[in-house]
Amino acid sequence: MSNFSKTTVFFTVYGATGPYNVVLLALICVVYLSIIAVNLLLVLVICLESSLHRPMYVLLAHLALNGVASSSTVSLNIMKNLLMEKPEASLQSCLTQVFFSHIYCCSMYSTLALMAYDRYVSICRPLQYHCIMTAARVRLMLATVYGVTGCAVALQVYLMSRMQLCGRSVDKLLCDIQSLVNLSCQRNTAIAAYNLTLIHIMIMVPFLLVLLSYVHIVTVMLRRSKASQSKALETCTPHLLTFINFSIASFLVIISNRINLKLSKEVNIFVSISFTFIPPLVHPLIYGIKTREIRKSIRKIIRIKQLPF
């Protein structure tokens, strides 16, 4: 595509700079700083407390870091556009947004699937847990998640970069695949097929693995004592809440992409914010409130003044 480097995409959802944009900018700034604070606190607590150096919490730390990385990439672009009279971005910048947002979504789902597997092994095969969930195996699983996700999304972005674009207006806060497809001069069957395949493999497969893990967990727990059921529920509840929260945000984005032209500006903004900001903000709060070990570790660290509170 000869004019790829010269193509500019205009974000029409913002409109001219005004009070509405200033309020949205302030809101995003506050939420972004909150995301950084709660996620880095969670990662720091996991790093400092040796009792949390277990597979479940290592995976949780990666979940938090994913949220920080995605929010940082997206938030800075949104805040910059909100301050501009005529928000615009190069196509390279737009594709970079697509790359990181898709890496975030796919790696989050894959990490949540690994966490569900960890809970399955812990509850259903407790005597074999330390043999199965070794530190080396956890590192290998995480490396596989990031490696496969990175390669798959990189190929997707490369295919998108080869499209000939006839439009230049994106009526959203962020660039996404559907927005760029809507700007293309003609429908590309190969790209459409690859995008659909990627959604099913990178999102639906982890989604089904989580459901399958919990079917096994429920089946096993129904045969155990009330005390065992209560303990299992306590350890699984934070993960279930996190999984449900992220799934709702993801499905809102998928649905909105299909009916984008029928949605108002306000709804488009809400969907973008809900996917980009709500999960990374809510997930560490869920684990901080619902997980006894993390609450105890935070209190312990504060008491011995390892953190400058």
Domains located in the chain, CATH noted: 4-303 (1.20.1070.10)
Q: Is the pLDDT reported for residue 18 higher than 70?
A: no
The residue count for the chain? 309
> Exposure pattern of 193-209 as b/e (b: 16+ CB <10 Å)?
ebbeebbeebbeebbeb
Q: Is the pLDDT reported for residue 22 higher than 70?
A: yes
Average pLDDT, the chain: 83
| pLDDT for residue 10 | 66
> Could you report the per-residue pLDDT of 208-236, keeping only the tens digit for each?
999 999 999 999 988 888 888 888 888 89
Predicted TM-score (pTM) of the model is: 0.86
Q: What's the mean pLDDT in 53-66?
A: 92
Give residue 11's pLDDT band: very low, low, confident or very high (50, 70, 90). Answer: low
Bigger pLDDT: 19 vs 194? 194
Percent of the chain with pLDDT over 70: 90
Ramachandran angles phi, psi of 90, nearest 5°: -70, 160
Q: In angstroms, rounded to a whole number, what is the distance separating the alpha carbons of residues 309 and 298?
A: 11
> Could you report the per-residue pLDDT of 179-188, keeping only the tens digit for each?
788 788 877 7
Q: What's the mean pLDDT in 125-138?
A: 91
Residue whose entry in the numeric block shows the structure tokens 């005597």:
127
Give the CB-side neighbour count of residue 69, counting CA atoms within 13 A.
15
